[in-house]
């Protein structure tokens, strides 16, 4: 998404400071627009708005969310000054000032950096125009690239504790094109999360309705990927958010969490220590510190974090006594986990999750050490109040109900445990990830021999509900393919002629055999006549699950990528025969991801979609197979584009050279 630039300037021809007329439309057309487009911006001026509606509404929305606001101060135009004041009041940065010749300088911005351009005969001076364009383009690029900590607005410079409002708080209350585009984008992102499709999330994160929302997009994508336990990709989104705003607190918190989930505990601790220094009374950050120490403690006595294998990793331990002794030997780590949770709950008693973690770990310490703890009973009362208050606020919230069920397991009899866990799992709505998170906690208690009968009862209830939920499919390896279409009958220079079909099919079968492809693996590709369908047929013959992803609705895809080749009708029959064997119908890109963004190419977008879908299972699982002649394609989005995209992310490439068939 290109940066969005809004222009505040006079319209039409106006008398200049010396009384001579200046054609500001020519200033815009000859200087401003070309310079900002050279800087990579999409340029908008309020008088260009042709949609029906209130021009003032559009102007306000642009001032609030534009990445760059350029104000031409050649004249003391009240509208321009008003618009500049609105921007300065609500945004700390992202302003470029320019002016033509004038004898005096406005006092309020006398010291501000401004670009001065030359005028001749009422229009930009042709002798300096190229230099003025380049200077303005450079100034725009520097402004956009400036650190998020740099304040340009005099309001924010003088009021050092003033903070910018969240952009969503600045959305105009009335329905407009901007809010509709954002709502549609958010809906698609949430649907992708619910369907466990991180590849979709990664594409959508690159396609925000406007670049001004890029930070929000990265935050949302990172949170969705965290919920799906795609920690490597979540960390990428977090780092992208921090590249936009290096001081973004939610992203700094998520970064520490991602590092901990990936087992990079020392880096996670360093990140949390900096957060604690910056936000000493933040309960969420204290809980995060506790979470990191808890994961580290579990890894020390268990030998793994359990994050990669899901619920299946919580199988019964082979030596419970040995695990319990190992956990006891690591008591110092347990204490390090207790302290931050205690601090968090003390700071925020309504934080029932911090409270239940404090109570659980304190109870486990008593269980492992055999020593009594005087503070357990008062803590139990506080946590019980916090959990019950949370349940009253949100009676169907799984987190609150699961925390209360965990409390019952710690302190009450089997009947209470059965009732509480039964109520909790019923509210989970078959959310596999939420249920699996509860199972992981219960598995830790089971491994440490804590209240075996009650823990086993709770595990049975959760396991039964997990069995009803659809666990996410985790392929052993992901076979990503891209290849040439069969040549059309009138193709002037042969690339993949029909005479090579059998040889190509044989080489693809050999490549799959070398990869030991079979049941438990996933094949991902389009369905074009030629390489795609040959690959899918070979995968199906080996029992590989196939995922067909199309850049267009099926009728259009068949017209563009199946029928144009030699014997197109026969290939269409092969396409439908392959489709009938799929476990799931083809995924259609405009249905899943929405309309093609302006200026984008559908085939390139689909390549990125395919690659992200494959990589989301883990970079180490992806095997890319290409049927390729090593050259460029007939247009954007071909095999060469996919090859370069894969090389950028992973080196596991098996290339079948069509020229050698």
Is residue 311 within 8 A of residue 253, CB to CB? The reply is: no
User: Which pLDDT belongs to residue 629?
Assistant: 84
Global pTM reads: 0.73
Q: Alpha carbon of 244 to those of 5, 148, 155, 362, 534: distances in Å?
A: 17, 7, 22, 41, 43
Own/partner long-range contacts of 10-13 (Cβ < 8 Å, ≥24 apart): 10/72, 10/74, 10/75, 10/77, 10/79, 10/80, 11/47, 13/122
Return the closest-CA partner of residue 292 out of 229, 357, 352, 236: 357
User: Which pLDDT belongs to residue 221?
Assistant: 81
Q: Using 50, 70 and 90 to split pLDDT, how confident is the model at 185?
A: confident
Is residue 386 within 8 A of residue 350, CB to CB? The reply is: yes
574 Cα distance to chain centroid: 37
* Pairing assessment for the beta strands 119-120 and 123-124 based on DSSP bridges: antiparallel
| DSSP letter, residue 107 | G
Burial group, residue 646, by CB count within 10 angstroms (0-12, 13-18, 19+): buried
Averaged pLDDT, 69-95: 90
Q: Which of 388-397, 504-513, 613-622 has the lowest mean pLDDT?
A: 613-622
Q: Using 50, 70 and 90 to split pLDDT, how confident is the model at 186?
A: confident
pLDDT, tens digit, 9 for 90 and up, residues 614-646: 988 878 889 999 998 877 655 555 677 777 777
User: Which pLDDT belongs to residue 621?
Assistant: 87
Averaged pLDDT, 576-594: 95
User: Which pLDDT belongs to residue 308?
Assistant: 43
pLDDT, tens digit, 9 for 90 and up, residues 286-323: 999 999 999 999 999 987 644 444 444 444 445 778 89
Phi, psi for 230 (deg, rounded to 5)? -95, 75
Q: Which of 129-138, 238-247, 350-359 has the lowest mean pLDDT?
A: 238-247
Return the closest-CA partner of residue 437 out of 408, 411, 462, 401: 462
User: Which pLDDT belongs to residue 309?
Assistant: 41
Q: Could you tell me what percentage of the chain is helix, strand and coil, using 3-state DSSP and rounding each to the nearest 5?
A: 60, 10, 30
pLDDT, tens digit, 9 for 90 and up, residues 392-429: 999 999 999 999 999 999 999 999 999 999 999 999 98
Give all domains of the chain, ordered by start, each with its CATH number: 4-169 (3.40.50.10140), 184-280 (1.25.40.10), 298-472 (1.25.40), 478-660 (3.40.50.450)
Beta-carbon contacts of 214 under 8 Å, excluding residues fewer than 6 positions away, are: 1, 208, 244
pLDDT at 52 > cutoff 60: no
Place of tokens 């990579």: 40
HSE, side-chain direction, 13 A CA sphere, residue 237: 33
Burial group, residue 263, by CB count within 10 angstroms (0-12, 13-18, 19+): middle
Beta-carbon contacts of 75 under 8 Å, excluding residues fewer than 6 positions away, are: 10, 14, 16, 17, 102
Distance CA 185, CA 208 (A): 7
Residue predicted with more confidence, 60 or 142 = 142
Averaged pLDDT, 600-607: 90
Helix (H, G, I), strand (E, B) or coil at 209: coil
The stretches of 542-601 forming alpha helices (DSSP H) are: 554-561, 568-580, 589-593
Is residue 23 within 8 A of residue 74, CB to CB? The reply is: no
């Amino acid at each position: 998404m290109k940066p969005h630039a809004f222009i505040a300037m006079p319209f039409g021809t106006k008398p200049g400071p010396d009384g001579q007329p200046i054609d500001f439309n020519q200033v815009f057309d000859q200087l401003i627009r070309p310079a900002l487009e050279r800087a990579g911006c999409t340029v908008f001026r309020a008088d260009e708005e042709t949609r029906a509606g209130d021009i003032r509404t559009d102007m306000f929305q642009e001032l609030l969310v534009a990445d760059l606001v350029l104000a031409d101060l050649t004249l003391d135009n009240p509208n321009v000054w008003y618009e500049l004041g609105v921007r300065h009041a609500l945004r700390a940065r992202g302003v470029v000032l320019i002016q033509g010749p004038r004898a005096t300088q406005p006092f309020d911005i006398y010291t501000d950096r401004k670009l001065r351009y030359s005028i001749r005969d009422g229009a930009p001076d042709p002798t300096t125009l190229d230099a003025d364009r380049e200077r303005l383009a450079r100034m725009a690029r520097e402004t956009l690239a400036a650190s998020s900590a740099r304040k340009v607005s005099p309001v924010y410079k003088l009021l050092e504790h003033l903070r910018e409002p969240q952009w969503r708080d600045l959305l105009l209350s009335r329905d407009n094109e901007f809010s509709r585009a954002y709502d549609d984008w958010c809906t698609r992102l949430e649907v992708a999360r619910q369907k466990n499709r991180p590849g979709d999330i990664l594409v959508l994160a690159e396609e925000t309705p406007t670049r001004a929302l890029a930070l929000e997009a990265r935050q949302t994508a990172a949170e969705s990927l965290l919920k799906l336990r795609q920690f490597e990709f979540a960390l990428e989104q977090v780092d992208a958010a921090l590249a936009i705003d290096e001081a973004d607190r939610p992203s700094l918190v998520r970064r520490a969490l991602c590092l901990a989930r990936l087992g990079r505990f020392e880096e996670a601790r360093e990140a949390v220590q900096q957060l604690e220094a910056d936000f000493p009374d933040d309960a969420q950050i204290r809980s995060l510190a506790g979470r990191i120490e808890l994961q580290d403690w579990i890894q020390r006595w268990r030998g793994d974090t359990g994050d990669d294998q899901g619920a299946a990793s919580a199988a019964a331990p082979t030596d419970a006594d040995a695990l319990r002794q190992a956990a006891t030997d690591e008591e110092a780590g347990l204490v390090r986990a207790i302290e931050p949770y205690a601090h968090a709950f003390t700071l925020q008693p309504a934080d029932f999750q911090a409270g239940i973690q404090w109570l659980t770990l304190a109870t486990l310490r008593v269980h492992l050490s055999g020593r009594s703890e005087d503070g357990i009973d008062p803590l139990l009362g506080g946590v019980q109040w916090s959990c019950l208050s949370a349940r009253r606020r949100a009676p169907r919230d799984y987190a609150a109900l699961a925390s209360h069920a965990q409390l019952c397991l710690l302190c009450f009899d089997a009947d209470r445990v059965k009732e509480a866990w039964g109520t909790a799992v019923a509210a989970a709505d078959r959310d596999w990830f939420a249920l699996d998170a509860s199972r992981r906690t219960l598995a830790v208690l089971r491994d440490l021999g804590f209240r075996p009968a009650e823990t086993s009862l709770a595990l049975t209830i959760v396991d039964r509900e997990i069995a009803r939920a659809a666990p996410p499919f985790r392929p052993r390896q992901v076979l990503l393919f891209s290849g040439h279409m069969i040549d059309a009958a009138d193709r002037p220079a042969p690339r993949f002629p029909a005479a090579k079909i059998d040889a190509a099919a044989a080489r693809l079968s050999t490549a799959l055999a070398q990869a030991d492809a079979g049941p438990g693996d996933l094949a991902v590709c389009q369905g074009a006549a030629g390489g795609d369908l040959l690959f899918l047929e070979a995968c199906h013959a080996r029992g590989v699950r196939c995922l067909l992803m199309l850049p267009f609705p099926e009728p259009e895809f068949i017209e563009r990528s199946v029928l144009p080749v030699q014997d197109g009708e026969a290939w269409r029959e092969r396409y439908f025969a392959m489709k009938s064997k799929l476990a799931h119908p083809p995924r259609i890109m405009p249905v899943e991801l929405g309309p093609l963004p302006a200026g984008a190419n559908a085939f390139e977008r689909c390549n990125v979609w395919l690659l992200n879908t494959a990589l989301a299972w883990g970079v180490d699982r992806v095997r890319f197979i290409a049927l390729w002649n090593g050259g460029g394609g007939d247009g954007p989005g071909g095999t060469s584009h996919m090859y370069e995209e894969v090389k950028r992310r992973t080196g596991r490439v098996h290339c079948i050279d069509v020229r050698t068939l």
